[in-house]
A and B are shown apart, each in its own frame.
Chain A
């Protein structure tokens, strides 16, 4: 147990990661990626990992699962739709049941903010937050960071420290209010030197967002923000949500959709385009931009697999992680 009361290796929020932790995770990610399939498959051989998913997911679930399997671990998937959760079993009891069945680590996706904290507290197991409500999605922020390092000229070769992203401005645009991805990125990236500009209409981006920490700004004019950006991260927009907040879809698209003309308007340096997915082409992002040369969207998915492998090795304190943390 750590001083915070959660098992070592848990990742509940980026707030608990020190810069050295980020460096260690990225180093382990590199190292695991360079291993042969046979070497990888020995890392977590015989270990048991439970994926506990209370919300649907494609990318996150699949990449955690494939990562675990490629490391030799046994995985089991429990979803709210086909388990005793449907019968009213509490999160605590579900966690205790998985622990009793031998799970050594739980990956949790949950609609309620803070649920991973409750699970980590009640089971004492390392818990990896795979997205909790509107709160955080820490593994996404780490894979986004790795994607930027791989694609941006410069920082990739630098040492991971508080100046790693000096001079890099990341614009995050869309439904910030409901986005756990935005929160994790806005809290992680400034700690490595980046400037984060949040962009969106008031209904989706309240001023309270400035409380995420120093290094976070708000700019409601997307074109203005884009001109400062080395990276632009688009977030999915849910039509129902816009309607509820009385934001007109056509007006939203007009002001905040990332399309070719807008992207190229930010020349001379056209920013790297990212999207955590799932994306709605034609809504927050135009198809040509998503498929265009500046898009790193598929890279993000690939980095997801690699970063999540490292997080699993870290959670289970297996060899291959500690040895690269020097």
Chain B
């Protein structure tokens, strides 16, 4: 048993399992920032009173939401990098990582947009009417009445989108980022087949440690911040 565990430990160190999780965290962080920015712009477009912006935002969301992430990630390599010859860095690995971030951001921006929009939709019409009735102009009613409630309502869907983004960062494998967990686990199992179950268990536990706290935190936050109606 002790031999087995130390053998497993050696395998995990040899393939840098911890480093693989760090790659997933980095992918999630940068893609999350980018997707949140793009998603906010899209959400503003979709709730604006300007019909052409609404149409463009809706078109983006409906197209991207129904496209498999794998296709987007694969096209980052096959189409953008090789067919069109674009690079985000002279270093091919670095460029691949950045394109993976871009691909993840393009896909999840649609979901961040919908999360923000659903937050705005939780605010009852009466709140806006009350704000206008006491004479608040547009900017004040948005700043003081509607957006604070909308933000609270958006915490839960934003959290679930973040969790989905974390898990989906493994799909960077399709954009030839070979240092993330799914690819590293594959190589580790293929080269040390004796440790098949133990290696999977180790990676699974890593993912539980990564995902469950975020889930608990967003649930706690969304309940704490929920507007009682």
Are chains A and B native binding partners rather than an unrelated pairing?
Answer: no
